Structures are given as C-alpha cells and as structure tokens.
Amino acid sequence: MINPEDWRPVGELRLEQNALTAVTMTDRNVVVAAGPGAGKTELLAQRADFLLRTGICPYPRRILAISFKIDAARNLRDRVRVRSGPQFAARFDSFTFHAFAKRLIDNYRPTLTGPDALPPDYRIDPAIRIADEQITFDDLVPLALKILETNQHARGALRQTYSHVFLDEFQDATRNQYGFVCAAFKGTPVILTAVGDVKQRIMAWAGALNGVLKIFAEDFTAEPLPLYQNFRSAPRLRRMQNRMIAVMDPQAVSPDEELVGDEGLITVRHFDSDADEAIGVADLIEKWLQAGVAPAEIAVLVRQQASLVAGPLVEELHNRDIACRNEQERQDLNAEPVAALIFNFIRVVADDRQPQAYTDLMRIAGRAGASEEAALRFDSRLKRLLREVRAEVRRPSFGEDAIDAWAPLIRRLLDCLSRPVLAALSPAYQQGSRLDDIVDEALGAFEKELLVDGSPAGALKRLSELDAVRILTIHKCKGLEFEKVIVLGVEEQLFWGDPSAAISEFFVAISRAKNELVLTHVDYRARPAAPVQRWDAQRTAQRTFLDLADQDRRERTR
C-alpha cells in the first residue's frame, strides 16, 4: 500500500493536469470529455492503479468498469492487468453493459416473477423473446434495471461490492443504460468516473441518449475535466481529424500550431472495380507485412455489409496466404475460454512446436482436481490423450483437411476434461446451453477455415487474434487502435443516412490510425452471389469525406 502523494503514473507516463486530477480524484464524480487518442481509456487504467495501490479502493471492495463492446472491455481489463499486475487486477471487473446486466439477472433470477420470470436454463436470442424460456439481448439491461428498482438487496450488494465505477465511451449510453447507472449509484457514496467523446457518438440509431455526458455531469454533480492531447495519431492524421472536428464540434478544434509535423500518411485510392480494389489493397497489405508490420496492427474497416464489401479482398488475401479475421462472422470467439481450449488442442496435436498452446492447455489440468493428487492424475490422463491423438493425426489415413476427422478427437478432449471442469471455465457456461453453443461455434469456425485451404495450421492462424489482419465494422473498432487503417468504400452507397451519424462513424474510423490511413472508393462493386437486399453496383465517391483528406493527401491513383 502506498500513500496517495507517493503514487506515480505507471510506465512513467506524463499526464496532463486534468488527466492527473481525474486519475487521483478521491471525493468527487468526474466526467472526462476528450477527442480520439486523448488517453481516456488509459486514464481509467491509471486510475484503477491509483485506487488499488493506495487502498482508496480498500480490500475487499472492487472497481466496476462498464464498456459498450466486448473488445473495449477486454482492452481495459488487459491494460489494468499489465499496469497493476494480476493481484490488483483481480479486484477490477471490466464488463460490457450486457454482460453486467446478465450477471445481475443470473444472481437475482429467482426473484423475477410474473411475465419476467425465467427458468434456470433460460436462453438469450438476438431477436425473439419467448415467455418463460428465452429473452433477447435488448431485454438484458431493462430486466436488470427492474431488479435494481424493485430489489433493495440487489442495490445494496452492488453498492457494497463496488467503491468505484468507471464508464467508458459513455457518449453512447442509451436511456436504459443511463437509467441503470442512476438506479444503481445515483446519490450513493460510490464514486463514478465517466469518459467519452461526443464526436464519437455512433449509437444514436440504437437509442444513445443525446447529451448524456452533460446530463451525467448535472445528475451526479460530476466535475468536468476535458483533455486536449492526442497521443495516438501522427500529425498529418491529426490535422485531418481536426478538420472534421471543425465541422462537428468547432469549439473543440485544436490550434494549427499544435499540429505541425510531416509524420503520418494519408492516401486516397480510387479503383475502377472492387476486383481491382482487392488486388490493390492486398498488394499494399503484403508490402506492409514484408516491411515487418505486425498483421494485428493492420485493420480494414467497413461501415456496412462488411462481409460482402470485403469479400473480394478476403479472397485475394487467402490466395496470397495472408491470414485475416473477419470479425463480423466470428464474433469474439477468441474471448471464449472453451473455444481457445479447442483451438489450442488442435494446435498442440497438429504441430510439435507450440509451447505456448501446450502450456495454456495444461494449465486447465491444474484446475481440474480438488486435491493436488487429483490434479496430477488428471494431468497424466490429459498427457496420455495428447500422445494418442498426436499419433492418430500423424497416420497417413488421417484426413486432416476434414472436420469429420477432427470432431471426434475434439469430443474426446472435452470428455476427458469432463463437463464440470469445462463449465468452470466461465460463469456463463454454468447454466443454459452456452457451453454447447460455443463448442459448436468453435467447430463451425474451424470447419469454415479448413475449407479455405485444407490446412489445420492455416485455419488456426486465421482464427488466431494475433496473427491476422483484422476486418471490422466501424462499430466494432471503437476504442481500438492500429498502425495502419484502411477504410474500404468511402462511397455514398455506404456512408448514407443521417449525416451526423455518418460523419461520426467516419471520424471513429479514421481516428483509429496511428501512422497511416488509406481511404478507398470504386466505381463498380459487383453484386455478391449471396442474397442481399440492397446493393448498388455503380458507386459514387463520398466526396465530402474524401475532401477532408485532401490537404494532407500524398497520392491518388487510378
């Protein structure tokens, strides 16, 4: 434990005055409004370190952080683990709104009655609610809110557990989510820190509450502490962001003299067709990879219909053996412990040189036995299984390119581990069909990748988070950052609808780039073979957005 006066930012980071005030605030709620790359998420990670290390969040109390996307929640949790170490990080709970609401529902489900009653094995479906059986994702927060409003034990437990609450990307909170925060913490001693950026408000279509940062400041008498720096992007990129800020929020514009410098690169690439675009962009990505850029530092962002718009590029990358992850299709599978377990198992048996995968796999054995002796027995059983399966996989008759050959081996692993051990991997696996669903999804994802080139190693490479170029929708890239960002299809047919929503999304997309931004547009996008409701083959450049790149643009190719 250290004195608050002796605390220093982890990693010897220099914090601007308002950031330092927010990080070390002990007795007030604060709201930090700041542009992209200002260090809002970092500020929360540093604040967690401050609160835990100084004991201002005293043991056994905890910090609750709520984000909007699984990636963002994971990003924050990882930062705290790296900054403060696993022991302190164990008292830091980083959830999405949905995940936190679900926890509350699971804890207090037996108290739900009437039309809200749910069985222990209730399911969550994207769209359909069935009384007494299944709820939708959209039901989670309202149901959790109902629990808080009607159950004083639930409210009390929450306030007892958490001394501090962080709200990340809070500009996108909906009325329900804001209501939830109020019902849980308004007027209590729990101290809240909200961070956000009104210019990155991209969930208006999903009901984001207009002006929520301001409303929060008033309702929670939170001290506003704006930040002005941008630590992420090179000057050329910052100048483009600044031109957008001049349109979106003139008061937040930075003075020109703060944005001088030649670093960074913005390129607009015009192609006749999506086929040409696929080749041109794949050439570029290949060049970057050859120059040593890590695949995970390259992101391809698409506003809508990501799988379809990026389809030709994905095919071209596959032809060149460049791993890419289309995160539209494989939603957060890597974050699922049982999926990670299955992928590690395949890695270990298909390839002898996978020490990390082997260590991760064997770690499960340590959790399996109630006693040390039981764990050892379990360990040797798992090792025997690995030996047998390895031998089987090396037989010439083994069809390594077919999921039918792999599925029984994976089932043997799951049987060997036993259901209670698997269920213990995540609280979400302990009821309902989630565990089986994720196992099926992992097998399905592996099969899909196997079909690409028949190589288990290639399939796993594409499934892995670290070794693949990422293809994301703009909604999924919130809160993330990459060396190189390609925004595919800056066209009116993709950036249409409410102009303020379109510009905010474009702003989020371009502000993910640290050093290089590439914007593409084509004249012709061939209608995909898959059925699609709305598709214009002839495309028009989104001139207003592309012109924002103009002054710092290096080249334009045809």
Ligand X SMILES: Nc1ncnc2c1ncn2[C@@H]1O[C@H](COP(=O)(O)OP(=O)(O)OP(=O)(O)O)[C@@H](O)[C@H]1O
Annotated binding site for ATP: 34-41
In the bound state with ligand X, the residue whose beta carbon lies nearer, of 172 and 491, is 172
In the bound state with ligand X, the residue whose beta carbon lies nearer, of 83 and 539, is 83
What radius of gyration do the chain's Cα atoms show?
25
Spatial CB neighbours of 122, under 8 Å, sequence gap ≥ 6: 109, 133, 134, 135, 431, 432
Interface with ligand X (CB under 6 A), residue from 18, 41, 54, 242: 41
Under rule CB under 6 A, residue 172 binds ligand X:
no
- CB nearest ligand X: which residue? 39
- Applying CB under 6 A, the span of 30-38, 128-136, 371-379, 397-405 interacting with ligand X comes to 30-38
State the Cα–Cα distance between residues 378 and 340, nearest whole angstrom. 20
Whether the bond between 60 and the residue before it is cis, its omega within 30 degrees of 0, is yes
| Ordered DSSP codes for 371-388 | SHHHHHHHHHHHHHHHHH
Interface with ligand X (CB under 6 A), residue from 25, 33, 39, 53: 39
Residue 293, helix vs strand vs coil? coil
- 3 state SS for 74-142: HHHHHHHHHHHHHHHHCCEEEEEHHHHHHHHHHHHHHHCCHHHCCCCCCEEECCCCECCCEEEHHHHHH
State the Cα–Cα distance between residues 475 and 326, nearest whole angstrom. 14
Q: Which residues of 540-549 are buried (b: 16+ CB within 10 A; e: fewer)?
A: ebbeebbebb
State the Cα–Cα distance between residues 366 and 417, nearest whole angstrom. 11
Number of residues that bind ligand X (CB under 6 A): 18
Of residues 175 through 204, those in contact with ligand X by CB under 6 A are: 197, 200
With contact defined as beta carbons under 8 Å apart, do 180 and 212 qualify? no
Phi, psi of 322 (to 5 degrees): -100, 120
Smallest gap from Cβ 16 to ligand X, in A, equals 7
Smallest gap from Cβ 267 to ligand X, in A, equals 21
In one letter, which amino acid is 312? P
Under rule CB under 6 A, residue 42 binds ligand X:
yes
- Applying CB under 6 A, the span of 35-43, 203-211, 330-338, 448-456 interacting with ligand X comes to 35-43
**Burial classification of residue 551, based on how many CB atoms lie within 10 Å of its CB (0-12 exposed, 13-18 middle, 19 or more buried):** exposed
Residue 434, helix vs strand vs coil? helix
Under rule CB under 6 A, residue 239 binds ligand X:
no
In the bound state with ligand X, the residue whose beta carbon lies nearer, of 204 and 452, is 204
Of residues 199 through 218, those in contact with ligand X by CB under 6 A are: 200
In one letter, which amino acid is 452? V
Smallest gap from Cβ 527 to ligand X, in A, equals 35
Under rule CB under 6 A, residue 264 binds ligand X:
no
Under rule CB under 6 A, residue 232 binds ligand X:
yes
Smallest gap from Cβ 39 to ligand X, in A, equals 3
Of residues 466 through 485, those in contact with ligand X by CB under 6 A are: 479, 481
CA distances from 16 to 7, 225, 257, 344, 345 (A): 16, 11, 18, 43, 46
Residue numbering of the annotated binding site = 34-41
Smallest gap from Cβ 296 to ligand X, in A, equals 14
- Applying CB under 6 A, the span of 7-15, 132-140, 202-210, 452-460 interacting with ligand X comes to 7-15
Smallest gap from Cβ 352 to ligand X, in A, equals 36
**Burial classification of residue 395, based on how many CB atoms lie within 10 Å of its CB (0-12 exposed, 13-18 middle, 19 or more buried):** exposed
Smallest gap from Cβ 48 to ligand X, in A, equals 13
With contact defined as beta carbons under 8 Å apart, do 132 and 117 qualify? yes
In the bound state with ligand X, the residue whose beta carbon lies nearer, of 37 and 311, is 37
Under rule CB under 6 A, residue 488 binds ligand X:
no
- Applying CB under 6 A, the span of 11-19, 218-226, 279-287, 374-382 interacting with ligand X comes to 11-19
- 3 state SS for 307-322: HHHCHHHHHHHHHCCC
Interface with ligand X (CB under 6 A), residue from 23, 24, 33, 37: 37
Spatial CB neighbours of 521, under 8 Å, sequence gap ≥ 6: 268, 269, 270, 271, 489, 490, 491, 539, 541, 542, 546
Under rule CB under 6 A, residue 14 binds ligand X:
yes
With contact defined as beta carbons under 8 Å apart, do 287 and 558 qualify? no
Under rule CB under 6 A, residue 15 binds ligand X:
yes
Interface with ligand X (CB under 6 A), residue from 22, 25, 30, 38: 38
Under rule CB under 6 A, residue 13 binds ligand X:
yes
- Applying CB under 6 A, the span of 36-44, 98-106, 258-266, 452-460 interacting with ligand X comes to 36-44
With contact defined as beta carbons under 8 Å apart, do 203 and 197 qualify? no
Under rule CB under 6 A, residue 285 binds ligand X:
no
Smallest gap from Cβ 213 to ligand X, in A, equals 13
Under rule CB under 6 A, residue 511 binds ligand X:
yes
Smallest gap from Cβ 351 to ligand X, in A, equals 33
In the bound state with ligand X, the residue whose beta carbon lies nearer, of 42 and 327, is 42
Smallest gap from Cβ 14 to ligand X, in A, equals 6
State the Cα–Cα distance between residues 216 and 359, nearest whole angstrom. 46
In the bound state with ligand X, the residue whose beta carbon lies nearer, of 168 and 552, is 168
Smallest gap from Cβ 508 to ligand X, in A, equals 8
Residues that bind ligand X (CB under 6 A): 13-15, 34, 36-42, 197, 200, 231-232, 479, 481, 511
